[in-house]
Amino acid sequence: MNKQKSDGAIATRSVHNARDPSIQNGMVNTPVYHASTIIHDTVNDLENAKLNINTKDALIYGRLGTPTTFAFENSVADLEGGYGALAVSSGLAAITTAIMAFVRSGDHILVANSVYYPTRHFCDYSLQRVGVDVTYYDPSIGDSISTLFQENTRLIFMESPGSNTFIVQDVPAIAEVAAASNIVTILDNSWASPIFFRPLEHGVNVCVVAATKYLSGHSDTMLGVIIADESHYPAVRNCRDEYGQCVGPDDLYLGLRGIRTLATRMQQHDRSGRAIAQWLSQQPGVLRVLHPALPDSIGHEIWKRDFDGASGLFGFELESRSRDAAVSMLEGMRYFAMGFSWGGFESLLIPVDSSGGRKSVDWSSDRRLFRIHVGLEDVSDLIADLESGLQRYFDCNSI
Ligand SMILES: *Cc1c(COP(=O)(O)O)cnc(C)c1O
């Protein structure tokens, strides 16, 4: 009997879905299958394997997936409410593979100007090179995005909330006008994870997630996943397979292991993140806190309408001080480390370029933007750490 369970609330499903102890000697977790060759016993099976090349969960060849791959993919597809999911080697690979599945030379695409910088870089270089025209749009545009549609507009790329700005997009409005014009919609859902937002429920066709971040959740794996509705799954599947995208079984296992605690971790990131955002917004010298759950953040009402919570990643702006002041704050932090990425159990704090690019920080501007990831430490320890950090920042007299 197949004992895979995919009913109940999302936290319950994240614990029970895509595993079946009864077919693996009673063991709770899906095993890590290291495989390239998969033996087919009969000529019939061999021929069928080839015919099934695009079928979900078909055991054909290691690159096309093993039971470890399928468990990860099916778990994510269930949580995101998709027809199917496809594992790829990183979050960025999920973005580029999903875009390439739908565009051809001569097409025009619309990309939110608040996207993760490497997404933008891919659009400006690789897409440009193959003759795909890109227009960046204001993430707050809503259904007026239709004024940017051209005859050859093929795809809209969203990221909500956007990197560094944390502006929340009106996803259902954009998805609706896109569908009416036969334009494919893709959304980067890395920030919220499926625990707090499920883009496909709001009309988006394809969702991409950097599983490197919250899904795996322990800062120890690179992993991406693309989730699609039924009509867009085949195109993504073909593209993933044509590019030879696949993931090693240990990373898939870490992704799946992360999912089992995802709901609990997200709830804690949410609680601590909001407490720290609130606290920061009351400190002198803090100009703005960019957190979707705060009423004055851009897109807050939309966030309240569409999301079930907020993750631990947000931004805050401080009154301008010298580079030395920032160095003194950052290098003296006890728990907040400096590093790219986020979504692990640990807290991070870095200065970022407020123009949204990945240029180095402009230390001459009149405000300093910082990006904080609130981890799973006790929140009072984190606040104490930030309190002395701000003190170092504002006490630093050097110019
Ligand atoms: C980190 C990140 C990615 C890319 O994920 P990798 O696994 O590092 O390639 C994509 N989108 C967003 C919003 C991210 O923050």
5 is a catalytic site residue: no
Asked whether the predicted pLDDT for residue 3 surpasses 90, the reply is no
Instruction: Dump pLDDT digits (tens) for 105-120.
Output: 999 999 999 999 999 9
pLDDT value, residue 93: 98
Q: Is 224 in the pocket of ligand 1 (CB under 6 A)?
A: yes
Contacts 24+ apart (CB under 8 A), 229-234: 229/82, 229/83, 229/200, 229/205, 230/83, 230/84, 231/205, 232/101, 232/102, 232/184, 232/205, 232/206, 233/82, 233/83, 233/84, 234/54
pLDDT value, residue 399: 55
Closest-CA residue, ligand 1 atom 6, reads 91
pLDDT value, residue 358: 54
Closest-CA residue, ligand 1 atom 4, reads 91
Cα-Cα-Cα-Cα dihedral sign, residues 15, 18, 22, 27: negative
Q: Is 252 in the pocket of ligand 1 (CB under 6 A)?
A: no
Average pLDDT, the chain: 95
Rounded percentage of the chain residues whose pLDDT exceeds 70: 96
Q: Is 90 in the pocket of ligand 1 (CB under 6 A)?
A: yes
Per-residue pLDDT band at 1 (split at 50, 70, 90): very low
116 is a catalytic site residue: yes
Q: Which of 6-20, 231-245, 343-357 has the lowest mean pLDDT?
A: 343-357
Rounded mean pLDDT, 170-183? 98
pLDDT value, residue 19: 95
Instruction: Dump pLDDT digits (tens) for 39-75.
Output: 999 999 999 998 888 889 999 999 999 999 999 999 9
Single pTM value for the model: 0.96
Per-residue pLDDT band at 175 (split at 50, 70, 90): very high
Catalytic residue selected from 107, 188, 270, 306: 188
Residue of 166, 190, 371 best suited for mutating to test ligand 1, as the one with most atoms within 8 Å of CB? 190
Note the residue count of the chain: 399
Rounded mean pLDDT, 312-327? 96
pLDDT value, residue 68: 98
Catalytic residue selected from 154, 213, 274, 321: 213
pLDDT value, residue 363: 72
Asked whether the predicted pLDDT for residue 356 surpasses 70, the reply is no
pLDDT value, residue 397: 73
Asked whether the predicted pLDDT for residue 357 surpasses 70, the reply is no
Distance from chain centroid for Cα 137: 20
Q: Is 116 in the pocket of ligand 1 (CB under 6 A)?
A: yes
63 is a catalytic site residue: yes
Q: Is 190 in the pocket of ligand 1 (CB under 6 A)?
A: yes
Residue of 88, 90, 92, 252 best suited for mutating to test ligand 1, as the one with most atoms within 8 Å of CB? 92
Rounded mean pLDDT, 337-351? 97
